[in-house]
Structures are given as C-alpha cells and as structure tokens.
Amino acid sequence: MKVLVVGGAGYIGSHMVKMLDKAGHAVTTLDNLSNGYRDAVKYGEFVEGDIADEALLNQLFSDTGFDGVMHFASYIQVGESVEKPSMYYRNNVSNTQTLLDAMVEHGIKNFIFSSTAATFGEPEYTPIDEKHPQKPINPYGHSKLMVEQILADFDHAYGLKSVSLRYFNAAGADPEGELGERHVPETHLIPLVLQAASGRRQNITIFGEDYDTPDGTCIRDYIHINDLCSAHLLGLEHLVAGGDSRAYNMGNGQGYSIKEVIDVAKKVSGNDFDVLTGPRRDGDPARLVADSTLLQAELDWKPEYTELEMIIQHAWEWEKKVDSWQ
C-alpha cells in the first residue's frame, strides 16, 4: 500500500512509519515539525508541511495515489486545551477538515484517525466499551469527538471510510531501541518517572493519593506503542479490503496505578528516586481502562506487549540513550 502518515515525525507517528515500512508499504510522512523531529522519520519519504496548506495537499495527492491516510498530527495536552481552545479547534478540527476535504477531492477513501479516551469524559463505568456515552469534559476531548462526527457525516455523504482508534495511555518505545517518546514539555507519567530514574529529574510527584482506588492513586491503561500501531495497520487493511467505517476503544484492558508504575520503573531501572505527593490534577478520573474486545474480535488485533514491565523496559532503553536523541 501507499500510505501518507500525517504527523509521522511525532512519538506515535514515527513508530507507525517504521512499522509500515517494515511491512513492505511505501510510506510518506507529512509533518510541520512543530512537535515532531526530522530525525525521528527513519523510513520512507519526508515532506515538511502543514495540513492547513491546501496547495501542498493538492500537490501531494495529485502526485501520489495514496491508498490511505493516517492522521497523528494533533495537539494533545488537556490542560493546554482548556487555556487555548482556539488553538485546539483550529488544528485538531479545522485543519483536519482541510485534510479530509482534499482527500475527498482526490478520491482517497481510507482514513485512520487517532482519537482518544478523552472523548468519553468522566467514566460512568469501567472498563469503557464503545457503548459508553461520549461526553468530553475539555476542549481536547471535544475536538477529537467533533472529528469522529465529521467522519461519520463524510462517510454518509462522500463515501470516505475511516477507522477511529480511541487511545487510552500510549506508552513504551520501539523494541529495537531506535525510536521513543520525546515530548517537550513532557507531561506523561512513564517518561517523567524514567527521567527521575535516570537522574534527569530530581523526583516525581504523584498527583493525588486520595482517589477511590486500592492504593489511592489513579489507574490508567497503558498500551505499548507497537500494539497501538499494529491496530492502525489492521484498520487500514480492513478499509482497503472494502470494510466499512468503525470506531474502537484501544487499550491493554489492564489498569495500573501510579504507584505500580513507579515500583516497576524502580525495578526495571535498578535505581531509586524520591517520590513526592502533590494535589490532584484537574480533570483526572480515578480509573480509565479500555474494553478492547470489539477491536480484538473484529480486526483480529492481538496486543503483544501487555506486561507493564515490558512497556517500561522499552521506554527505559530509550531514556538511557537520551544523549543520542536530545
């Protein structure tokens, strides 16, 4: 297949580009490098540019007959989205529509969309399946749900087929050690904990220890980056084979608390570090765990790296190489 990966220079996109290339597909990355890194794109073609640039999209889509587009180019910070909603709706919704319009114009029918658990808002029950009401509680979640809605309408009107994958907590790194997580600023738990383990940070602060969970800290569903990417590939294969549009929740199905993550990080790294307790962070549900039964049943997805220790081991190998990528 010929695949365009939008946001292929970012954390998830760069792993996707590698997986597509290794599977024998012709991959092109389009990335404006606002949050990605040119040197993270180790496979395929690279085009620097923005999905807001209609002329560039028209040129790309005229020159290459892509079988599908995977879209990873979003802003992802919940707190920032509350402070700067315009930025989130502009990039995550308006610019995505520009991309979809160009696809429709050029007859490119298959789209894989990075959605999020944040489209559900405060969980009414866990594990969260696809029937759970979608009531986002922040602009980030709203922006992703709006695109899911646009996709349903574009399918109906224009026949654009899509698979939306609602990620829970993407984590880990390339098992071969070539790629990893590189956000600036880093806000995610596992990379921050590993920075404390390597001595790049002095300590880690747990945001709240008084939740209604067994050890009082929040429970999340960490899914290995390669398992996440393999679902995207299955989604595209499903669409290219003529399958209809779908939306799936995607996680490990297994929840781990913040304290469990910290304990495993200490074990994997062999290093001790200070753990502080701070106040709760706004908008953090106590427990977010995915029910991925539908994805497994319908696309035959089988997560390979389900153990938290393995996920953290791969992230730790990447953290240890910080001098080579920072």
Residues that bind ligand UFG (CB under 6 A): 76, 78, 116-118, 140, 169, 187-189, 192, 204-207, 218, 220, 258, 281, 284, 288
Q: Which of 154, 167 has the CB closer to ligand UFG?
A: 167
With b meaning 16 or more CB within 10 Å and e meaning fewer, what string describes 121-139?
A: bebeebbbebebebebbbb
Q: Which of 39, 122 has the CB closer to ligand UFG?
A: 122
Whether residue 37 lies in the annotated active site: no
Q: Report residue 50 CA to chain centroid gap.
A: 19
Q: How far is the CB of 93 from ligand UFG (least distance, A)?
A: 16
Q: How far is the CB of 280 from ligand UFG (least distance, A)?
A: 8
Contact of 6 with 31, CB cutoff 8 Å: yes
Q: How far is the CB of 217 from ligand UFG (least distance, A)?
A: 7
From 11, 43, 88, 140, active-site residue: 140
Q: Which of 163, 218 has the CB closer to ligand UFG?
A: 218
Q: How far is the CB of 274 from ligand UFG (least distance, A)?
A: 13
219-220 and 256-257 strand pairing: antiparallel
Contact of 104 with 166, CB cutoff 8 Å: no
Residue type, 237: E
Q: Which of 94, 213 has the CB closer to ligand UFG?
A: 213
Q: Which of 102, 189 has the CB closer to ligand UFG?
A: 189
The first and second tokens of residue 262, run together, are 């910290």
Q: How far is the CB of 208 from ligand UFG (least distance, A)?
A: 7
Cα separation, 290 vs 223, in Å, equals: 10
Cα separation, 274 vs 294, in Å, equals: 40
Alpha helices in 106-224 (DSSP H): 139-158, 189-198
Task: Find tokens 């106590």 and name the residue.
Answer: 286
Cα separation, 185 vs 183, in Å, equals: 6
Q: Report residue 267 CA to chain centroid gap.
A: 26
Residue type, 259: K
Q: What is the dihedral of CA 69, 72, 73, 76, to 10 degrees?
A: 160
Task: Find tokens 């539908």 and name the residue.
Answer: 294
The answer to whether the Cα torsion of 235, 236, 238, 239 is positive or negative is positive
Q: Which of 244, 282 has the CB closer to ligand UFG?
A: 282
Question: Which of the residues are catalytic?
Answer: 140
